[in-house]
Amino acid sequence: MSNNKSVSHFITFPGSGTHLLFDCLKTLDIPHLSVGDLIKKLLLAKKINFEEPLNELDIDNPALFEQLLKTLPEDLSDEKGLIEFLNIISGYIKSLDFENSVILQPHASYEQFFSTNRTSINWSKSDISDYHLLMKKSFEFSNITYKEIAYCRNPIDLVASKNSRFKNNDYLIDEEIKLLKSFVQYVTDKQLEIFTYEDLCKYPEKTIKHLLNAMKVKNVNAGFISEKIRFSTSGINKIKGLSKSERTLVIEKTKEICKKLNYSHNVSNSLFEEIKKYYDLIKWEVHVSNKFLLHGDFTNDGAISRHKMTRFCSLYRRLLKVLFKRAKLNSIKFSDIRNRTIIKEISK
């Protein structure tokens, strides 16, 4: 029997426009739970051979973590052995003050390596399975409605976007596609309901309404999103970010996963479309720059802070800071991470 509380666990991949989703949820005042991070670190601690795993994993609540770690059985299918663990984590979850909440991080639904302070740990298919099993059992044991929802982006655009940002930081296209394949495998195997970055950018109000319905969130005005956040379609059919040879490689290697997610794997833009996209991008950059620097409104915080600005936008921002004192002050304020709360976090 469930109470009125609900948690929506978004299954996402880095570079999918997740921080735009963060911005929307922050604007709608829907908080984020840190339970996913807690469970991921518990499973990692089981794999660490050091005597003090807490020092390796940056634990926020050491007393709770140690309690849970001691009671977490080796065999998660052992229902009786799991009861003590579930009682403890259920008590913690029930102590948190929320009605509807989300979990967007960690990105734990694909095979990868997690780095700790001193080592790198393999996160395998069995770890992914254990992670989602513990998440599901923890909330169900707490009588809280729990649902997984996939949030995806066209794999070609995702790779192009990350390549343009990290090209000088050993970003490896082949390795990224390998991780993406693992992520898509989980989403399709579980037959999760999928919401896309593209729909959020093109039809924000309609998409948010559908999303709130899927999350079982009531009494929230989805239209408020369009008033507070400026959406851009410049990240869709993203031609730049990949050389011609890289793009050919990415199209070929992502063909299978594009098909699984119902994306076209051979996207191209006409010259007119490219000019229009650039014009729309400039308009968006000017709009959000004015919001940040002239009005001190950081609503698009998560998305814009990860956006690689055009040269025009960089020059425009410099000009604003020269002409307006408040623009310079807001720029300093925005640069301080303490003034950039991406989303309300609920934890103890």
- Give percent of the chain above pLDDT 70: 89
Judged against a pLDDT cut of 80, whether residue 346 lies above it is answered with no
- Contact between 303 and 17 under an 8 Å Cβ cutoff? The reply is yes
Judged against a pLDDT cut of 90, whether residue 87 lies above it is answered with yes
Strand partners, 101: 7
Confidence class for position 184, pLDDT limits 50, 70, 90: very high
What tokens does 99 get?
Answer: 């009605």
- Among 70-74, 91-95, 160-164, which is the least confidently predicted range? 160-164
Q: Give the largest CA-CA distance in the chain.
A: 68
Confidence class for position 14, pLDDT limits 50, 70, 90: very high
* Amino acid letter for position 210: H
Query: If you ran DSSP here, which 8-state letter would residue 7 be given?
Result: E
Judged against a pLDDT cut of 90, whether residue 264 lies above it is answered with no
How many residues in the chain? Answer: 348
- Contact between 258 and 265 under an 8 Å Cβ cutoff? The reply is yes
pTM value is 0.86
Amino acid 47: pLDDT? 84
Domain boundaries, the chain: 6-153+190-242, 270-340
Amino acid 347: pLDDT? 66
- The sign of the dihedral angle between the CA atoms of 188, 209, 228, 5 is negative
- Among 68-72, 80-84, 283-287, which is the least confidently predicted range? 283-287
Judged against a pLDDT cut of 50, whether residue 1 lies above it is answered with no
- Alpha-carbon distance 213 to 18, whole Å? 19
SS3 83: helix
Question: Of 7-16, 259-268, 339-348, which has the strongest mean pLDDT?
Answer: 7-16
